[in-house]
Structure 1
Amino acid sequence: MYAYTALGGPEVETFLDLPIPEPGPGQVLIRVRAAGVNPVDWKKRTGYRPAGAPVPEVPAVFGGEAAGVVERVGEGVTDLAPGDEVFGQTVTGGYAEYALLPAALTARRPPVVSFEDAATLPIAAATAHDALVQLDLPPGSTLLIIGAGGGVGVAAAQIARRHDLTVIGTASPAKKDFVESLEVVPVEYGEGVADRVRAAAPQGIDAILDLVGGDELETLAALLADRTKLVSAADRATVARLGGAPVERARTRAVLEQVAAWVADGLLNPRVVEVFTLAEARQALRRVEDGHARGKVVITVPA
């Protein structure tokens, strides 16, 4: 298991040999086959936590989403059974051979969806789904995604295009071609970004999905007249102060089944761009923490 033993930087990360967790009521234990790597993983290591969430106990295993095979089920779980191939959000971290998942947030993996792709869906794709439901934009609207090159941005762009939205996305120059491959108009972030967005969308923008927060959110929010169409998955405090709202997560099995169905039908590509083994978990996390990953990074665990 790859874990952090205290709050801090990469120096507090290490491999640990911890007991296999036992599923409690409403939980399933899975043998992990793949785990998604997300920015929230390293942010939690530094002490970040969503509003109302408890301070994590350490040592804590990294990873909030995983796919694998059910080993055991806890009391009250009747709709999943040992041998089922599933994916979902984790109770214990996914950078491990075994992980606990809440049964209510666990869905069966469609056979045509790989474990690697399935492991990316509970956080990135589901967050993108929930954000676009919340924004509720009619076809023909223009959506600005702040930070279009990461996992949530990749999913949001594809879902938005499915709904006939025009999408503009901020990203680094190194990700320009990648963002264009998503049918997104790329805009380089940094000084002058507001002017570049205005040039890319001379008719204005109708909504903003923020995945970065901070100064860029502050700057670009000024382009939006209707702040009810401003949502952020990255900066709850700033978006609230600007008149917008955090992304409201549905956290249901139905959402997981929906995004998995899109992947199965070829309507959503999670864009898994780098795969690391569990032994390479440190390198996988650095790719995301350093901001260089295009699309999703996944850790695999041998069967």
Structure 2
Amino acid sequence: MRAAVCTGPGGPEVLEIREVPVPPVRAGWSLVRIHAAGLNRSELRTRQGHSPNVRFPRVLGIECVGVVVASTDPAVPEGATVAAVMGDMGREYDGGYAEYALLPNAVLMPVRTALSWEVFAALPESYLTAQGALDALGVGPGPGRLLIRGGTSSVGMAAASLAAAYGVETAATTRRPARADALTAVGVDHVLVDDGGPLAGPVREVWPGGPDHVLDLVGARTAVDSLGLVRRGGTVCVAGSLSGWSIADFQPVAMIPSGTRLTAFHSGDLAGAVDALRRVVRLVESGVCRPNLDRVFALDDIAAAHRYMEDDGAVGKVVVVP
């Protein structure tokens, strides 16, 4: 089979297309023919050498969709359409940048859908992360005010789509004014241009009392600032790491306003979220939510796909097809 093998830490050029053996099936694992795989920024960091547990060479890819061709689990028989997300895919064992993947049965989520493979592949990681973050924030159907920082990321656009479906009033940030239309298209009510200056002024113009919730997908660099934007007693959820993982000199008592809540959601909790994924698929099939698919690359062009993501070219999800 053909696979994009990451030969070692480095730039996109370390991703090489190779012929490798189809992995043999073993107990507790099933073989999936991959039809498409969503790309994620965490894979850029793994390729760059920032995932300390990853040993090279490795086939990257923390999510994929396809068809089971050899099963060891009656719940996911041969011929079943499945999505697979996380569970150490592409890190501890080979992942989605290939024609076939041997995957633990625990990460396989059977889903019936008429969506194209490319559209289906755009949903699992981004929408399940968005749903998990909204759940952590306590965002659900009914009135509310949500600020999304990092709005044109795939998770940001998915969160905006879900919030719009809930009837929540939403603001989202982008560093590029030209991307405002992409945000309004997914249901964002207020687009805020983040030029690196204080965001408090633009936020207070929209909501003088502040938003009820802040979904911070930028991460470490903006998390403390987000705590000052949310209304007193509101909640900030950090669910992204576009600016890294660590907050320097974090002092919780001094930096978290009294009564305000700080939480997080990690996409490592996604495996097995089949009911949530089926709901998302239904929402996209019915047109209530958008797939937010930005661009599709062939497996042969995986290095170009990584460069495109690294250059912040994407507005939404990037997908690769073998």
What TM-score do the two structures reach when normalised by structure 2? 0.84
* Alignment of structure 1 residues 59-208 onto 2, 5 Å: 59-74=57-72, 77-89=73-85, 91=89, 92-137=94-139, 139-171=142-174, 172-184=176-188, 185-189=190-194, 190-208=196-214
What SS is found at the alignment partner of 1:78?
Answer: coil
Deviates more, 1:284-293 or 1:194-203: 194-203
Q: How does 1:12-27 map to 2 (within 5 A)?
A: 12-27=14-29
User: Structure 1 CA distance, aligned partners of 2:27 and 2:200?
Assistant: 50
1:121 positional shift:
2.2
More deviation in 32-41 or 244-253?
Answer: 244-253
The farther-off stretch of 183-192 and 256-265 is 256-265
Q: In the alignment, is the contact (CA less than 8 A) between 1:89 and 1:102 conserved in 2?
A: no
Q: How big is the shift at 1:213?
A: 1.5
Q: SS where residue 24 of structure 2 aligns?
A: coil
* Distance across 2 between alignment mates of 1:103 and 1:121: 20
Which of 278, 284, 295 matches 1:257?
278
Q: Which amino acid aligns with 1:231?
A: C
Provide the C-alpha distance between the structure 2 equivalents of 1:257 and 1:250, rounded to a whole number of angstroms: 13
Structure 1 stretch displaced more, 95-104 or 153-162: 95-104
Q: Does the Cα contact within 8 Å between 2:69 and 2:79 map onto a contact in 1?
A: yes
Given the superposition, is the C-alpha separation of residues 62 and 203 from structure 1 closer, same or farther in structure 2, using an over 3 Å criterion?
same
* SS of corresponding position for 1:137: coil
Q: CA deviation at 1:173?
A: 1.7
- Given that 1:41 and 1:62 are in contact with CA atoms closer than 8 Å, whether structure 2 keeps it comes out as yes
Name the CA shift for 1:25/1:254 in 2 (closer, same or farther; >3 Å).
farther
Cα distance between partner residues in 2 of 1:120 and 1:226: 35
Q: How does 1:216-295 map to 2 (within 5 A)?
A: 216-226=222-232, 229-235=235-241, 237-238=246-247, 244-248=262-266, 249-252=269-272, 253-295=274-316
State the Cα deviation string for residues 73-120 of structure 1 (Å, max 9, x = none). Answer: 23xx11112222222226322111111333233223433222112212
Q: Distance in 2 between matches of 1:232 and 1:29?
A: 34
Q: Is the 8 A contact 2:212 2:234 kept in 1?
A: no
After superposition, the Cα gap between the structure-2 partners of 1:195 and 1:95, relative to the gap in structure 1 and judged at 3 Å, is: same
Count of aligned positions: 295
What do the CA deviations read for 1:245-287 (whole angstroms, capped 9, x no partner)? 2215343222222222222232221121211111111111222
Is the 2:148–2:216 contact (alpha carbons within 8 Å) kept by the matching residues of 1?
yes
For residues 60 and 302 of structure 2, the distance between their equivalents in structure 1, rounded to whole angstroms, comes to 9
The CA distance in 2 between the partners of 1:102 and 1:154, in whole Å, is 29
Name which of structure 1's ranges 98-107 and 289-298 shifts more when overlaid on structure 2: 98-107
Amino acid at match of 1:115: W
Distance 2:304 2:178 in 1: 20
Do the aligned partners of residues 194 and 227 (structure 1) sit closer, same or farther apart at CA in structure 2, a change above 3 Å counting? Answer: same
CA distance, structure 2, for counterparts of residue 18 and residue 195 of structure 1: 55
1:3 alignment partner, SS class: strand
The farther-off stretch of 92-101 and 252-261 is 252-261
Query: Residue 122 of structure 1 aligns to which amino acid in structure 2?
Result: P
Q: Gapped runs of 5+ residues in structure 2?
A: 257-261
Q: Please tell me the residue identity of whatever aligns with 1:151.
A: S
State the percentage of identical aligned residues: 32
Residues 105-138 of structure 1, C-alpha deviation per residue, up to 9 Å, x if partnerless? 3223433222112212221111001111111135
What amino acid is the match of 1:160? A
Determine helix, strand or coil for the equivalent of 1:14. strand
Asked if structure 2 preserves the Cα contact closer than 8 Å seen for 1:47 and 1:55, the reply is no
5+ residue gaps, structure 1: none
- On the 8 A contact 1:278/1:299 being kept in 2, the answer is yes
TM-score (normalised: structure 1)? 0.89
